A and B are shown apart, each in its own frame.
Chain A
Amino acid sequence: MKKILFTLILAAAATIGMAQNATLPQNITIKALDGSSVQTSVIQNDGKPIIISFWATWCKPCNRELNTIKEVYEEWQEETGVKLVAISIDDARSASRVKPWVDGQGWDYEVYIDQNQDFKRAMNVVNPPHTFVLNGKGEIVWQHASFVEGDEEELLEAVRKAMEN
């Protein structure tokens, strides 16, 4: 009996080890706003939570989300140390307008361009906006598709929870 229990406890411990959250793919190529190609491993925040938001210049709800968060971003950063990384899925038609757009909107986020949507596919994003929260270990702990005014409260809650992990 003891042996059976022991084996079961070991197996349970092993599954706890196995059933973790998915992590951010590290080696997908995206473009920085200065034109250089980088890998998704550049998305780091020193062990603090990260918000990844997939958006496009032609997506109005995406712009509403990023503008709504802009108003409270400084407070959020003070409280949680969170960093928002905005990934544009604009393709060749509008990719060259991403940098002027980000500057024109006055955003302080880290922005990358996923022009052929490789990152979007790897993260299973279907319709923009699609937002993810990563904890300090780079694990995806929360995701949400769509944005309506008020959703930013839920996002902040998810970031607070991610801090505890």
Chain B
Amino acid sequence: MHRERINIMKKTFLLLVLSSYFLLPHVQAQGIAGGHVTGNIQVDGQISHKDSIIGSSDVAEKLLMNARADILYTNGNFLGGIRFEMYQNPMLGFDSRYKGQGLANYFVSYQGEKLSVTAGTFYEQFGSGMILRAYEDRYLGIDNALLGMNVALRPIEGVTIKALAGRERFFWDFSNSLVRGVDGEVNLNSVIKPLADSKLRLTLGGGFVSKYEEGQNITSPDVPRHKLNLPLNVGAGAARVDMSLGNFTLQAEYARKGQDPSIMNGYTYGDGEALMLNTTYSMKGFSVNVQAKRVENMCFKAERAVTGEMLYINYIPAITKQHTYAFLSMYPYATQTTGEMGLQGDVMYKVKKDTWLGGKYGMDLHFNTAVITGLDITGTEGACVGGDGYTTNYFGTGDLYYGDATIEVAKKLSSALKLTVTGGYQVFNPLVEGHTGALHHNTVFVGDLTWKVNKKNVLRFEAEWLGSDSKYDPDDDDKRCGDWIMGLVEYNFASAWFISVSDQYAYKDGIGNYYNVSVGYTHGATRLQLGYGKQREGLLCIGGVCRMVPASNGLTFSLTTSF
């Protein structure tokens, strides 16, 4: 009798243990029917109040919040995903048309070795994006995903053929216009057997994109009763070369766009074109890079009457270096849609250790310079609605838009101390952002010291100075004018916690006192950050990560997790 009871107890216990296995959560990716579910979730919010000095407006709803959840299901070569987004209400710096919530992204995809097919919303880039780039940048509020179908064929190694068609995302809707494109790329070293081991590596590519949009009634202010004869199909093509030989590399891409009268170019009918050239000489410890670019009338949009940053089919990036220090990126340069020419040079050199200059640990030197000007406009007769646009001299230059030169020296002073000192000189034309006035000439110095106190404690100090010949003018209201000084202290504990305190103060000819306190906690792929104070919009690198942040005055929080 007693033994029977023990037996029953044993069996029940075993049963309970086995059943609980199903109830216990699994730490790693959730397995479902042989596949895996992974994803990421982000919630950002701010409680911002009015501050005329930094230009943040009053927020009636007090709390602004952006949130999103991406869920991906992978099973062998099949992939499916959805993204839920919520902007209730959109944070400062985000377009108010994002207000709302819903399923912003949904697709199913087969990704095989020779064939990939995606149906739903997708992202794609041809070459460097000069004729097509569908991408998303959550921090800039950019998402021009295409809803349709995307096919990629890799029939033999080294050959890729892509074909796609879709409609572009526009906030919570999709544009009525159609985008179709085809692109091919050949890596000659894979395809031409004798070249397989050659020192010359060569890849060629080319693509064509066509946009179809229904007609509209657009008349010229000069000839009001005459409707413009608008092309319903606009095509753009590009060809590219990517070559490397020993220590040299050369990339070149040329794009041309057909007649595309749109609000961006004043409804003119001239062709658009863009040329990008990049050459590098590099070896371990030393590199030189030179980039040249010329862009004219290359705003390729899905809808001809839409202004601003939305509905771009292509992507023409700024040719300047993306600076990470606050004062170096105070006057960021953004590509001018009317046209521009630019040149950038970059030199990196690693001074070896145990040399006179290098010291015990060596020293890193980094020099960068960029110059951007407008185009040399030789004729303006065609610059009217229905005309052919400006005429320009291809190799001439116009007004100076931006110029900078920076030199950065990084040196490890001891096993615990690492110092980076940067000096920069910038010339900025306020015209670039719609402000008035003369060119700004700015000098910037930055000191960045990291002190690894011990295994668990790391301190970072940053000091910056910006001297400018600009003075704050209430009529123009550019709050960046004047001379500034900044200090930042960041304390990291046990690779999990951080706290940072900083202040940017305009001590001469300017207005503004941007103080900020932030704390954060990171565990694995989960990160929570809370901040209080005034924040300028821009790239912020604290607490171990870099992200773009909108302007804010008050409390901000951010929670991200990946699983």
Binding site for B on A (CB under 8 A): 1, 4-5, 8-9, 11-12, 15, 18-23, 25-29, 33-37, 39, 41, 56-62, 64, 91-97, 99-101, 103-106, 115-118, 121-130, 140-151, 153-154
Contact = CB atoms under 8 A, between A and B. Distances in A.
A140 to B, nearest CB: 8
23 contacts: A8-B18, A9-B18, A29-B152, A29-B160, A37-B203, A64-B450, A91-B135, A93-B318, A93-B319, A94-B321, A94-B322, A103-B284, A106-B285, A116-B129, A124-B563, A125-B40, A125-B562, A126-B40, A127-B546, A146-B522, A146-B527, A147-B544, A150-B452
Contacts of B6: none
A5 B14 contact: yes
Given A22-B36, A116-B135, 12 more contacts: A18-B33, A19-B28, A36-B158, A41-B113, A58-B539, A92-B125, A104-B282, A104-B285, A126-B40, A127-B547, A146-B543, A153-B455
A146 to B, nearest CB: 3
A130 B19 CA distance: 36
A80 to B, nearest CB: 20
Contacts of B154: 39
Contacts of A154: 495
Contacts of B283: 103
A117 B40 CA distance: 15
Contact of A151 (B32, B187, B495, B546): B495
Nearest to A91: B317
B458 A104 contact: no
Contacts of B324: 58-60
Q: Could you say which interface size class chain B belongs to?
A: 35 or more
Interface of B: 11, 14-15, 18-19, 21-22, 26, 28-34, 36, 38-40, 42, 70, 72, 74, 77, 79, 111-113, 116, 123-125, 128-129, 133, 135-136, 152, 154, 158, 160, 185, 187, 189-190, 201-203, 242-244, 249, 251, 278, 280, 282-289, 291, 315, 317-319, 321-324, 346, 348-350, 364, 366, 450, 452, 455-456, 458, 492, 495, 498, 522, 524-527, 539, 541, 543-547, 560, 562-563
B74 A105 contact: no
B492 A148 contact: yes
Contact of B40 (A29, A124, A153): A124
A29 B116 CA distance: 10
A116 B544 CA distance: 23
A60 B546 contact: yes
Contacts, number: 243
A5 B15 contact: yes
Contacts of B29: 20-22, 140
A33 B242 CA distance: 10
A15 B18 CA distance: 11
A15 B22 contact: yes
A148 B542 CA distance: 10
Contact of A21 (B28, B133, B203): B28
A106 B284 contact: yes
Given A8-B18, A36-B190, A127-B547, A96 B278 contact: yes
B39 A118 contact: no
A121 B123 contact: yes
Contacts of A100: 280, 282, 287-289, 346, 348
B352 to A, nearest CB: 10
B72 A124 contact: yes
Nearest to A107: B284
A99 B18 contact: no
Nearest to B291: A96
Given A35-B201, A115-B125, A97 B560 contact: no
Contacts of A129: 544-545
B544 A25 contact: no
A123 B563 CA distance: 9
